[in-house]
Chains A and B, each alone.
Chain A
Amino acid sequence: MESTKVLDAKGLACPMPIVKTKKSIQDLNSGEVLEVHATDKGAKSDIAAWVKSGGHELLQDTEEDGVLKFWIKKA
């Protein structure tokens, strides 16, 4: 899936994936897509919750070889 920007948050523990995601999405315009890579298992539910609380949209999420990937469309 196409993305405007990729954030590598692999190896980071809670709450840093969320903190970094917030920082990264600030540079995007509404409608652009941020791709986040994380290895923190908690990120699966945390990113989804964060997306919901911010009114953004989680377009897709995948899990492969322990790496969680998320595509977030900025509100």
Chain B
Amino acid sequence: MADTKVAIIAANGSLFDAYKVLNVATAAAASDAEVGIFFTFEGLNLIHKEGHKNLPIPEGKEHFQEGFEKTNVPSVEELIEVAQDLGIKLIACQMTMDVMNLEKEDFVDGIEVGGAATYIDYAKDANITLSF
């Protein structure tokens, strides 16, 4: 997988979305793929400095909370750290940040900020593209 490139769009911000995005991303990076994630709209929650520590469980699915605890699933905080440690590129969408009045400092350290063209340029030679 050393020559594999994975480009992911994260556009939703619940706890479930965080696991969908981060599990696939970290598994790919742990398999030596080059991975980049573009966070847009609610997806920005996943890298928001405070927000990512307390992501909401989708309404009506609160009973899954127990399952998360029982199965010892890593926290989103831990997965973001793993992602950065594995060299995954985290790109926050500039336009959404402007709409939501967010600055780069509102996010976890080490992210990049870019627009749609940045993502397209990153994804143009990707082997795998995913959208969550």
User: Which residues of chain A have C-beta atoms less than 8 A from B86's C-beta?
Assistant: 19, 22
A66 within 8 A of B: no
Smallest Cβ-Cβ distance to A14: which chain B residue: B23
User: Which residues of chain B have C-beta atoms less than 8 A from A11's C-beta?
Assistant: 72
Give the interface segment out of B26-34, B53-61, B97-105.
B26-34
A16 within 8 A of B: yes
Task: Give the A interface residue count (CB, 8 A).
Answer: 15
A46 within 8 A of B: yes
User: Which residues of chain B have C-beta atoms less than 8 A from A53's C-beta?
Assistant: 1, 31-32
Q: How many A-B residue pairs have CB under 8 A?
A: 40
Task: Give the B interface residue count (CB, 8 A).
Answer: 13
B31 to chain A, nearest CB (A): 5
User: Which residues of chain B have C-beta atoms less than 8 A from A54's C-beta?
Assistant: 1, 31-32
| A19 lies within 8 A of B73 (CB) | no
Tell me the A19-38 residues at the B interface (CB within 8 Å): 19, 21-22
User: Which residues of chain A have C-beta atoms less than 8 A from B30's C-beta?
Assistant: 15, 18-19, 21-22, 50
Using known A-B contacts A53-B32, A54-B1, A54-B32, determine if residue A18 contacts B27 with beta carbons closer than 8 Å.
yes
B115 within 8 A of A: no
A67 to chain B, nearest CB (A): 15
Q: Mark B29-65 against chain A: 1 for CB-CB distance below 8 A, else 0.
A: 0111000000000000000000000000000000000
User: Which residues of chain A have C-beta atoms less than 8 A from B72's C-beta?
Assistant: 11-13
Using known A-B contacts A18-B27, A19-B26, A53-B1, determine if residue A13 contacts B32 with beta carbons closer than 8 Å.
no
Q: Mark B63-96 against chain A: 1 for CB-CB distance below 8 A, else 0.
A: 0000000011110000000100010000000000
Could you tell me which B residues sit within 8 Å of A by CB distance? 1, 23, 26-27, 30-32, 71-74, 82, 86
* Closest A-B pairs by Cβ, 8 of them: A53-B1, A22-B30, A15-B27, A53-B31, A13-B73, A18-B30, A19-B30, A15-B26
Could you tell me which A residues sit within 8 Å of B by CB distance? 11-16, 18-19, 21-22, 46, 49-50, 53-54
